[in-house]
């Protein structure tokens, strides 16, 4: 049996909630293209993200631990894949468009710098007087202008609904160089976009516990001081009394993730019913009145915020991680300063954009797009 594109759209819409974003309501593309015969628009967007150069480079970009630390810890790509998996699960459970939620998740960190948040912080400071830098906006720059893969346009020419989903919390954003403007979302952010955002928080909180524990920066005694972790871990001990400590810790991490995902699904469903959400227009109505539909229950949200504070104090501020971050900042500062003084050393593919855009923006794009190891290689070769 062969399903035509119309068959696929009808099949999709029959399984979507009325407040979901359907393929037929994708917002179109900036550059018109013929529709694919057997891939729906958001599936096509997903594949374009997966095949992008920026996505491939994520495997050598820092999540928490820099690439040289080891190969058993999350990098920016494995983190992104985990976020995509959570987004698909939550969207499917709520009758939302899982293709859209997955695509937003896969694209959400394309604009991240080498060396994780330390890289973003230093590049943001360096660009403060030159238009600024923020990795979510950089992700939009990548998919709308920087990627060069197609003969008819720059960027990936993703659907407008996908691009809007990359704007966290429905914030304003006007692309500086592509000539494309995404006005403020008068209809508010899609639930698919909000779910991808929350999935990001769940994923990094859970996997940072595991990576921190495996690195020896977090110990069971430390974790037990946090009430969310302790509740989950004690329950796991009761369920699996014969399991060893290592298995119990890994089981507790999975259980913690599952509890947050389950609570999120249940709480969103509750608020959809409470606010009588029966259409996308209803979502717009409550959004304009400041009603939060997507979020954790009050109890889980309180415990989740405590857990994030715990990780900030006990993991992210660990002296070894601070030292890694300081090294990453030094690398990026040195590269940025060098290329400002020696723009002739920038690759031709970037150099040719000087004039159309400022030298600082071109350098920012170049440095932000580097992997950890490439940035280190160039840094070590500086005169």
Name all contacts of 85-89 with Cβ < 8 Å and 24+ positions apart: 86/199, 86/202, 86/203, 86/257, 86/261, 87/192, 87/195, 87/196, 87/199, 89/261
Q: What are the φ and ψ backbone dihedral angles of 150, each rounded to 5 degrees?
A: -125, 145
CATH of the domain at 109: 1.10.3210.10
In a domain, 141, yes or no: yes
Domains: count for the chain: 2
Q: What is the pLDDT of residue 168?
A: 60
DSSP 113-161: PTTHHHHHHHHHHHTTTTT---HHHHHHHIIIII---BTTBSS----HH
| Within a domain: 25 | no
Domain-embedded: residue 372: yes
The answer on pLDDT for 171 being more than 80 is no
Of the candidates 306, 299, 305, the one whose C-alpha atom is nearest the C-alpha of residue 267 is 299
Query: In the block, which residue shows the tokens 């920066």?
Result: 217
Q: What is the pLDDT of residues 72-85, one digit of tens each?
A: 778 999 999 999 99
Determine how many CB atoms are found less than 10 A away from the CB of residue 297. Answer: 15
Pair 166, 56 in one domain: yes
Contact (Cβ atoms closer than 8 angstroms) between residue 27 and residue 40? no
Query: What is the structure's pLDDT at 176?
Result: 40
Residues 197, 83 within the same domain: yes
Both 331 and 190 in a single domain? yes
Average pLDDT over residues 117-125: 93
Domain end position, chosen among 268, 290, 317? 317
pLDDT given for residue 263 in this prediction: 98
**Structural element, H or E, at residue 274:** helix 245-274
Residue 170: pLDDT above 80?
Answer: no
Which of 56-60, 149-153, 260-264, 282-286 holds the top average pLDDT?
Answer: 260-264
- Assess contact for 248 and 237: CB atoms under 8 A: yes
Domain that holds residue 289: 218-317
Boundary of a domain, candidates 296, 317, 338: 317
* Shared-domain flag, residues 294 and 326: no
Residues 204-228: tens digit of each pLDDT: 999 999 999 998 999 999 999 999 9
Name which of 275, 306, 365, 380 is nearest 57 in CA terms: 365
- Strand, coil or helix: what is 45? helix
Are 232 and 123 within one domain? no
């Amino acid at each position: 049996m062969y399903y035509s594109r119309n068959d696929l759209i009808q099949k999709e819409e029959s399984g979507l909630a009325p407040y979901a974003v359907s393929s037929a309501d994708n917002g179109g593309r900036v550059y018109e293209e013929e529709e694919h015969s057997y891939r729906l628009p958001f599936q096509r967007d997903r594949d374009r993200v997966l095949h992008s150069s920026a996505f491939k480079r994520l495997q050598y970009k820092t999540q928490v631990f820099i690439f040289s630390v080891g190969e058993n810890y999350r990098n920016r790509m494995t983190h992104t894949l985990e976020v995509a998996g959570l987004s698909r699960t939550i969207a499917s459970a709520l009758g939302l468009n899982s293709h859209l939620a997955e695509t937003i998740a896969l694209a959400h960190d394309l604009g991240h710098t080498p060396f994780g948040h330390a890289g973003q912080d230093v590049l943001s400071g360096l660009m403060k007087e030159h238009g600024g830098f923020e990795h979510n906006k950089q992700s939009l720059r990548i998919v709308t202008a920087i990627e060069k893969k197609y003969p008819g346009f720059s960027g990936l020419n993703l659907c407008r609904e996908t691009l809007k989903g990359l704007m966290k919390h429905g914030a304003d954003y006007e692309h500086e160089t592509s000539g494309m403007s995404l006005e403020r979302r008068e209809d508010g952010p899609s639930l698919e976009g909000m779910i991808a955002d929350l999935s990001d928080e769940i994923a990094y909180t859970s996997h940072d516990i595991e990576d921190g524990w495996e690195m020896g920066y977090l110990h069971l005694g430390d974790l037990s001081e946090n009430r969310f972790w302790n509740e989950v871990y004690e329950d796991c001990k009761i369920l699996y009394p014969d399991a060893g400590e290592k298995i119990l810790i890994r089981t507790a991490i999975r259980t913690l993730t599952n509890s947050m995902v389950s609570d999120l699904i249940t709480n969103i469903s509750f608020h959809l019913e409470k606010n009588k959400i029966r259409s996308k227009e209803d979502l717009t109505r409550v959004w304009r009145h400041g009603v939060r539909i997507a979020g954790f229950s009050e109890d889980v949200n309180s415990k989740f915020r405590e857990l994030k504070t715990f990780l900030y104090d006990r993991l992210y501020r660990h002296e070894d991680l601070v030292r890694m971050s300081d090294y990453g900042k030094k690398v990026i500062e040195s590269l940025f300063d060098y290329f400002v003084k020696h723009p002739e050393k920038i690759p031709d593919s970037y150099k040719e954009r000087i004039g159309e855009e400022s030298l600082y923006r071109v350098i920012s794009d170049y440095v932000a797009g580097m992997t950890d190891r490439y940035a280190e290689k160039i840094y070590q070769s500086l005169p």
